[in-house]
Structure 1
Amino acid sequence: MDWQSLRRIVTDNNKEGRSRVLIDGAAAKLVALEEAGLAEIWSADLDEARLLDAKDHLADADLRLEPDPGSVKVRWFTIAREDPAKTIEELEASAAFGFGAVGAGHCRVDTTRHPAMHKTQSLDVIVLVKGIVDLLLDDGEAVGLKPGDVVIQRATNHGWVNRGDDTALLVAVLIHAA
């Protein structure tokens, strides 16, 4: 995945109240392991003062999977093709490392179905941009999501699996729900 080719543009208003581009560039933060990873686009509290201030709060913040209480996160993330030759122990080690890297080890509440399963206290709107993925749930799954498909993930235990040929790219908007 060429993370540098993904461009984020954030707008704001100048002192005269005229709209302008505040940020035009790459992601604020990135964590990636091989082809899987996530890159932060924007984060803001859902109050007017923070929403409209001109600071890129991600530049100073630790990379975390979940949004803070009363806030929203927007990010790209990728799902690497799952290697059928990997053992369950190897998949578990990769998942534990990845979730640990974004402060989300506690989100892995029930991984009996798959090591990538996790649950966050957020309402997530997820759009598949490239590739094909399956959404695993405790009971059932949505198979063969394709570009343009949208998932409304409502604080449920879930995991993403890519059984396709290419790395999948998704965009997520996460709204803290607790």
Structure 2
Amino acid sequence: MKHKNYRRVVTGHDANGTAIIESDQLATQMLERPNRPGVRLTNFWLTHETPAQYDGPTETCEGDFILHPPANGSVFRCVEFLPEDPEVMAKLSSEDGAAAFAEMGAGANIVQGGRHPWMHRTDSVDYGIVMNGEIWMVMDNEEDDVLLKAGDVVVQRGTNHAWANRGTEPCTIMFILIDGVTETGKGKGIPAR
């Protein structure tokens, strides 16, 4: 099974204010890691402020690939999950998850001793749309785990979670992550358990 390459079209304005296509090419900021087999992340757009500047640079996905959205900003990305190999997963721990997430600047976001090696939490509000396939959203308690299928949406609000493709087909989720706080003016996140 192979990952997909995504065409990304970016609009803008010419000097006269006429709507134009500024960029039409394959998205180039991708991350695949040997220590997180079967997963590819592709960034399409990042904003660095709210409200977002809509007539700024044509390319925002430059530099290191970071899990979190920029401070006061957002990231639009796709994550493709190939089916997990149960034998490989049985050998992994949260230490393996921390090493994989460290490559995205988020090693401290792994939940040590979590129910899944990739159990993590981000200080963001994440909108996810399952485009194809199906995937389990693993929560702190097994009774809260939920199977998401194509067309389902999830609003992930800074909670511990992991994604587990236990099926036989790839699963693709489109995400928009927005930088967040626990309460307005109260700082970032809640302590990991």
**Is TM more than 0.5 here?**
yes
How far is 1:174 from its partner?
0.3
Which residue of 1 is the match for residue 46 of structure 2? 43
- More divergent stretch after superposition (44-53 vs 16-25): 44-53
Alpha-carbon deviations, 1:115-149, whole Å to 9, x = none? 11100000000011111101011133343211110
Which residue of 2 is the match for residue 22 of structure 1? 22
* Alignment check: 8 A CA contact 2:52 2:73 kept: no
The amino acid across from 1:130 in the alignment is: N
The amino acid across from 1:167 in the alignment is: P
Once residues 111 and 51 of structure 1 are traced to their aligned partners in structure 2, the CA distance between those partners, rounded to angstroms, is 42
Q: After TM superposition, where is structure 1 displaced by more than 4 Å over at least 4 residues in a row?
A: 91-94
The structure with higher relative contact order (CA 8 Å, sep 6+) is 1
Q: Percent identity?
A: 29
Which residue of 1 is the match for residue 68 of structure 2? 66
SS at 1:64 equivalent: coil
The amino acid across from 1:21 in the alignment is: I
* Alignment check: 8 A CA contact 1:31 1:101 kept: no
- More divergent stretch after superposition (45-54 vs 165-174): 45-54
| TM-score when normalising by structure 2 | 0.82
* Alignment check: 8 A CA contact 1:110 1:157 kept: no
The amino acid across from 1:164 in the alignment is: G
Residues 87 and 161 of structure 1: CA distance in aligned 2, closer, same or farther (over 3 Å): closer
Once residues 38 and 111 of structure 1 are traced to their aligned partners in structure 2, the CA distance between those partners, rounded to angstroms, is 24
Q: Does 1:100 align with 2:102?
A: yes
Which residue of 2 is the match for residue 2 of structure 1? 3
Which residue of 1 is the match for residue 184 of structure 2? none
The amino acid across from 1:36 in the alignment is: V
* Alignment check: 8 A CA contact 1:45 1:51 kept: no
How far is 1:51 from its partner?
3.4
The amino acid across from 2:163 in the alignment is: W
Any residues of structure 2 matched to 1:1-178 within 5 Å, and which? 1-4=2-5, 6-33=6-33, 34-47=37-50, 50-59=53-62, 61-86=63-88, 88-90=90-92, 92=94, 95-139=97-141, 140-178=143-181
SS at 1:145 equivalent: strand
Answer 1 or 2: which has greater helix percent: 1
Residue-pair matches, total: 176
How far is 1:32 from its partner?
1.2
How far is 1:162 from its partner?
0.5
| TM-score when normalising by structure 1 | 0.88
